Amino acid sequence: MLQVVRHFNDTAQNRLDASGTADLFGWHLDRNVLDFLTAVGAELDVDEYDMAPDEDTK
């Protein structure tokens, strides 16, 4: 199983791209990874969490 967990709006953990800005968009699996996952019969489990504070707690 390949498990992916993404936390949105978690400013302490945001990765930076080459220009030094936060990389907030998407993720990618290349053809070799997809072929491997298919060959071993793996499942893909993706969880995404929005870490922004609720509007009513500000």
pLDDT in tens, 1-31: 888 887 776 655 556 666 666 656 677 889 9
Q: What is the pLDDT of residue 43?
A: 94
pTM of the model: 0.53
Q: Which domain holds residue 34?
A: 2-57
The domain tally of the chain equals: 1
Residue 33 has pLDDT above 80, yes or no: yes
Nearest-angstrom CA–CA distance, 7 and 39: 29
Mean pLDDT within 20-48? 85
Within 13 Å, how many C-alpha atoms sit on residue 25's CB side?
A: 2
